[in-house]
Every structure is written in C-alpha cells, then in structure tokens.
Structure 1
Amino acid sequence: MPAARFMRQTATFLLCSSLCTLATMSAVQAAPSALAVKAALLFKLPRFVYLPYLEDNAPLTLCILDSNPFGQALQTLAQTPVDGRTVQLHMPHSTSDAQACNLAFLPDSANARNALPTRLQALAAYPMLTVSDIPGFAQAGGMVELADHPDDQGKVQIVINQSAAASQGIRFNAQLLRLATLLP
C-alpha cells in the first residue's frame, strides 16, 4: 500500500497547491471575486479535513444556513464528487434542521453576526465542520473562517480554530494548516 499512500499524498499536495494558487491570484490576471474564491475554497475544504463521523463512501452533505451568497456556483461545483463522494447541497431553514450536515456554512450578514454565539452553541451539539465568512468567526468558536484579506480584494485568508474542531474530533491536513492562520 505504500504506492497508494504516495499517490494520495501527491494528490493532496497538488490540491493544496491549487488552493494556494486560487487564494493568491495576482491582480494583474483576471482575478475572481472574493465570493468566487470562497465558494471554491468551501467546496475543496473537505478534501483537507478529517471528519471522523463520515463513513467511507458516504455522501458529503454541505449545508448553507440562511441565504446562499454563492448563487449557482455551489450547485455547479456540487456536481463534481469530492474524494469519490457525491456532494449533497442543502439549505436548511434553521440550525436544528442542520443536524444532518457534515459541513455547515454560515454566510455573513448583520443578523448572522448578532446571532453568532447562539448559533455556534446550537451547532456544537451536532458532529459537523462549521465554516463562515463572518469576521471573527473562528475567534468566536467557529472552526474555519474564510476571511477577506485586509490588503487585497479577491484574496481570502483561511483562519482555523483547532480547539473548536478538536472538540468534534475534527483534524486538518498538514498542508492546509501551513496555508492557514491558526488560532491558539
């Protein structure tokens, strides 16, 4: 099995490299919007996360709570399997409806910012990866924050709260950890 492990590590490295390239495209090129970068990162993120509760070959359930800021982009991306898993995209109406999600994305809005502590507490009852673009999400107890880069529009910083993830048994791939800003 060493050859299979090498191939998986090589594929992981190539995917990390493409994530890094996508997140740091120069302004000279036709750079995608920050929202497009976030959609791509959100979709690729499960490839770099170890979700202990996700059974082999089980579909990956990706949920967007509240309104979908990505439009059709996620529906298009969801047609491509992630590590051989089909992707099911759901838009639950409430936090309690999100219990079947493997990954829950909370989009930024004034209402979401105000309700963030309550929602994070409610989501902590379910085994899932929490992701958001709400400023300070990871600091507030969320697992992965897709933060707008302060110096450059279109670039996105990944902020990871390993403590919050560890409470659910979630671990991150080493290549992703090297690209991310880590909270203590």
Structure 2
Amino acid sequence: MRRTCPRTLAGLLAGLLCGLAAVQAQPVPQAASEQALKAVLLFKLPLFIYEPPLERAESLLLCQLGRSGLEDALAQLQRSIADGRTISVRYLDDAALAASCDMVFVGSSERPRLDALLPLLATRPQVTVSDIEGFARAGGMVELVVRTEGKGIDIVINRRAARERGVTFSAQLLRLARTVED
C-alpha cells in the first residue's frame, strides 16, 4: 500500500497552490479558474487513494461521462504526470463504456440520469467523482463542491461507497475533506 507522508502532502498542496496562483494570475473569468482548480484536484486525487488496481498502474485512465465544462482544463492536463504515472483522459457518452476506466468523472450534463448511473458505476472498482450537488450523498464516491464564498473547492467523500468498492483514502485527505455515509 502506497503511503503519502505529511511532507509529500505539504509539497503537493504547495505545488497545487503555486499552480492555482498561476491560473488566477492570468486574465481569465472566475468560472475558468474554478474549472481549472477542479481539474487539478481531479488529477491529484489518485495520489491520495489506496485501491489495488490504481496503486499498481503505470498509467491511469480518467474518463469523463457526459459534459461538465472541465473539457478545456482536462485537455491542458492530459498526459500529465502524477506520482510518476501518466493520466490519460477519455470522454464517454455511455456509462457502459466506462469498464476500462480507473476513475470516472460524472459531468453535470448527467444530473437527470444520476439515479440510474450510480448503480451502474457502483458495480465496478472505480473511483467516481463529480461536481454535481449531492453526488456523494446519492452514492457517488467523491464530490467537488465550490465553497459558498466562491473561493476554493471542498471535497466531500462518501466513505460507504468507497468501502464497498475496496477504495481507501489517505488520512491526510480525510482530514481535509468532509465525509458522508449514504
């Protein structure tokens, strides 16, 4: 099991903050900064997950199901290195095509079908992530929530959904996140 020590976490968070400062220094609309932040968090998430297939993989496949507004930010990060592994992005229109994905980001366009999608995705040992409000309470694993003051992103983790799929999150991430048990 891969462990992330506090210094590594501090370094990652410092790097993330530097990256965010660079994104925020550019003259872009606030929505673009929010999407860039979500994409960076999505790419860094595997560093804090203990799940056997995810831990041993030399590369990770992140699939986006539906549309979310993250497409541009994900395209900029595609083939990035996280913990020595490359992350590739694939865009899907059908949950049945997600079988080979290590992580599935459920786009906001899928909100109307969420009740049907989550049971389908729960049959696979994948990490499910979304920024749809209530995603974690509905049975998704990780929800990215824009803070009420609009500055930053909070992480909500559904520990039961993770446990049922054999996924464990690092203690460092759990201290930073809010947790729910659906």
Which TM bucket (shorter chain)?
A: 0.7 to 0.9
Q: Which amino acid aligns with 2:7?
A: T
Contact in 2 for aligned 1:20/1:179 (Cα 8 Å): no
- Structure 1 gaps of 5+ residues are none
- Equivalent residue, structure 1, for 2:91: 91
Q: Which has the higher contact order (CA 8 A, sep 6+)?
A: 1
- Equivalent residue, structure 2, for 1:132: 130
Q: Which amino acid aligns with 2:137?
A: Q
Contact in 1 for aligned 2:156/2:178 (Cα 8 Å): yes
Question: Distance in 1 between the 2:164 and 2:4 partners?
Answer: 30
Pick the structure with more strand per residue. Answer: 2
Shift of the 11–54 alpha-carbon distance from structure 1 to 2, 3 Å rule, reads: same
Bigger shift: residues 43-52 or 128-137: 43-52
- Equivalent residue, structure 1, for 2:113: 115
Between Structure 1 and Structure 2, how many residues are aligned?
A: 176
Per-residue CA deviations over 1:41-85 (Å, capped at 9, x if unaligned) read 111111111122236243100001112522332122123211111
Contact in 2 for aligned 1:32/1:154 (Cα 8 Å): no
Question: For residues 24-63 of structure 1, what are the structure 2 equivalents within 5 Å?
Answer: 33-54=33-54, 56-63=56-63
- Equivalent residue, structure 2, for 1:166: 163
Q: Which amino acid aligns with 1:182?
A: T
Contact in 2 for aligned 1:48/1:173 (Cα 8 Å): yes
Question: Distance in 2 between the 1:6 and 1:177 partners?
Answer: 14
RMSD: 3.0
Question: For residues 16-27 of structure 1, what are the structure 2 equivalents within 5 Å?
Answer: 16-19=13-16
Pick the structure with more helix per residue. Answer: 2
Question: Distance in 2 between the 1:95 and 1:149 partners?
Answer: 29
Q: Secondary structure at the match of 2:166?
A: coil
Percent sequence identity is 41
| Structure 1 residue 81 corresponds to structure 2 residue 68 | no
- Equivalent residue, structure 2, for 1:148: 146
Q: Secondary structure at the match of 1:88?
A: strand
- Structure 2 gaps of 5+ residues are none
Question: Distance in 2 between the 1:145 and 1:138 partners?
Answer: 6
- Equivalent residue, structure 2, for 1:72: 72
TM-score by length of 2: 0.83
